[in-house]
Structure 1
Amino acid sequence: MTSPAHDSTLAAPVELTAAELDRADLLHVAGSAQISRYAIFVPTDATGTPRPITIGAGARIGPFAVLHGGVTLGAQARVEEHTIVGKPELGYAVGRVYPGAGGNSLIGEGAVIRSCAVIYADVQIGVNALVGHSTLLRTNVQVGAETQLGHHLTVERATSIGREVRCSPGSHITSSAVLADRVFLGAGVRTINDKTLTWRHPARLSSPGFGGDWIIWFPGLR
């Protein structure tokens, strides 16, 4: 394989083996790291930009885990089977079109990402933090050290979660929320920061046959 700058196979998102990544200088693995032969690496984003993937000493990656370019796994971090880490955001959401550009995503030393979790690009997860099964962390989320996020959580964009926080299963944390250090969030908590369905693409509002939005209004909401 030629260098990333001249290799046409890196011009679009493409899955590569660990050996291919190593030859392209896009995979840096420290000693004693364990990588399943079935792990999947996608070094380039939708814009064609390649980013290296770094695996720390003693880190483990399970089968069918997908790691995108720009991901760094700290020493002793664990990414279990069928997880997605560093996924670039692509498409329209909340007044903005995301072009599928990747970013730097950090999984801190000793952190554990349970099976089927999905972590987008530009996410920072602290030392010894835990992300539960099937939990979703959107773009630019920050999670502090020693924090535990239960299974089936949704954490929206640009949310900041402090150190030693515990979030019980099945909750939704809306965009740009801030959870201070040592906060406890019970199960099934739902947060919201909009009075209307602003997530709809403006072009749909004028399309033929498009009906009006349904709005649930809470007394006292201004």
Structure 2
Amino acid sequence: MMHLSTPDIPITVTDLIRAGLLELGDGCQIHPSAVFLPVDMLGTIRPIVLGDRVAVGAFTVVHGGTSVGHDTHIGHRATVGEPEYGYAVRRVYQGTGAPTTIGSGVVLRAGATVYAGASVGDDTTVGHNTLLRTNVTVGTGSQLAANLTVERDCAVGDGVRCSPGSHLTADTVVADRAFIGAGVRTINDKELIWRDPDNEPPLLPPSFAYGCKIGSGAVILAGVNVGEHALVGAGSVVTKDVRARAIVYGVPATQRGEVTL
């Protein structure tokens, strides 16, 4: 039975549709174990909308406020529209849901988690066990590989490629056509001090400009801007801005050449 779990009463998909809480397009394929939760932790109700020919895998959980475009595939054990709860990054979250948008032609692979308020553009793929936190935006035609962590309020552009196992710290901006290698680490705090949440200074995330390429295992420190079409070598530690088309590598990374287009 596909159902909404409540403390006392399992509600079937048919009940949700009749109540206007779930809208299914033509040709949807929903695994019987999928769960739809239109009510957040504060009791706010948000309908769920699935477009035509959406597939939802086994043991997937879809939360209220989620809207899914046509021809999208949501793999087994994925979670979509998860409300943020508990302390994180200077805030205490109360489990409030929010509109969560998954475009058309998207593939969310098995185990992917997309938090409430996130948006994934058309024809983008999100890999196995990849995590997109609250208010993350991902553009169209991007490929986010397995086991990525994309923290709150990151903005990932169109046609971006991210290899497995990388971490994008909160508020990081990745412009269109950028490439992030495997195991890349980003930092948004220069002092690394645990602070009173009410007195934390603003974070200083790095940013990645159009068409830049970051080699596997690179570490990009807080506040660093990597310019358009720049190339950062594998294993580098980048401590200062990288100008457009520069080739940098090493620990610390220094300019060793220039990209020719």
Q: Distance in 2 between matches of 1:137 and 1:197?
A: 25
Q: Distance in 1 between matches of 2:156 and 2:131?
A: 14
Q: Distance in 2 between matches of 1:200 and 1:19?
A: 48
State whether residues 94 and 199 of structure 1, in contact with CA within 8 Å, keep that contact through their aligned partners in structure 2: no
Query: Is 1:37 the counterpart of 2:19 in the alignment?
Result: no
Query: Is 1:65 the counterpart of 2:60 in the alignment?
Result: yes
Instruction: Structure 1 unaligned segments of length 5 or more: list them.
Output: 1-8, 203-217
Q: Distance in 2 between matches of 1:102 and 1:119?
A: 12
Name the CA shift for 1:39/1:196 in 2 (closer, same or farther; >3 Å).
same
Name the CA shift for 1:199/1:85 in 2 (closer, same or farther; >3 Å).
farther
User: Offset of 1:28 from its aligned partner?
Assistant: 0.5
Residue identity in the other structure for 2:168? I
Name the CA shift for 1:200/1:15 in 2 (closer, same or farther; >3 Å).
farther
Partner of 2:208: none
Name the CA shift for 1:76/1:114 in 2 (closer, same or farther; >3 Å).
same
Instruction: Compute the RMSD of aligned alpha carbons.
Output: 2.2
Name the CA shift for 1:22/1:153 in 2 (closer, same or farther; >3 Å).
same
Partner of 2:75: 80
Residue identity in the other structure for 1:155? V
Name the CA shift for 1:30/1:128 in 2 (closer, same or farther; >3 Å).
same
Q: Distance in 2 between matches of 1:88 and 1:128?
A: 24
1:114 to 109, 130, 138: 109
State whether residues 120 and 138 of structure 1, in contact with CA within 8 Å, keep that contact through their aligned partners in structure 2: yes
State whether residues 16 and 42 of structure 1, in contact with CA within 8 Å, keep that contact through their aligned partners in structure 2: no
1:183 to 170, 175, 178: 178
State whether residues 15 and 40 of structure 1, in contact with CA within 8 Å, keep that contact through their aligned partners in structure 2: no
- Higher RCO, Cα 8 Å, sep 6+: 1
SS of alignment partner, residue 67 of structure 1: strand
User: Offset of 1:23 from its aligned partner?
Assistant: 2.2
Q: Distance in 2 between matches of 1:199 and 1:132?
A: 33
Partner of 1:150: 145
User: Offset of 1:200 from its aligned partner?
Assistant: 7.5
Partner of 2:248: none
Partner of 2:118: 123
User: Offset of 1:94 from its aligned partner?
Assistant: 1.5
Name the CA shift for 1:161/1:200 in 2 (closer, same or farther; >3 Å).
same
Residue identity in the other structure for 1:46? M
Q: Distance in 2 between matches of 1:16 and 1:118?
A: 24
User: Offset of 1:33 from its aligned partner?
Assistant: 1.1
Instruction: Give me the TM-score of the superposition, normalised by structure 2.
Output: 0.71
Name the CA shift for 1:187/1:136 in 2 (closer, same or farther; >3 Å).
same
Residue identity in the other structure for 1:95? R
Query: Is 1:98 the counterpart of 2:93 in the alignment?
Result: yes
SS of alignment partner, residue 186 of structure 2: coil
Name the CA shift for 1:167/1:15 in 2 (closer, same or farther; >3 Å).
farther
Q: Which structure has the bigger radius of gyration?
A: 2
Higher fraction of strand? 2
Q: Matched residue pairs, number? A: 196
Q: Distance in 2 between matches of 1:77 and 1:96?
A: 33
1:196 to 167, 192, 199: 192
Partner of 1:5: none
State whether residues 16 and 41 of structure 1, in contact with CA within 8 Å, keep that contact through their aligned partners in structure 2: no
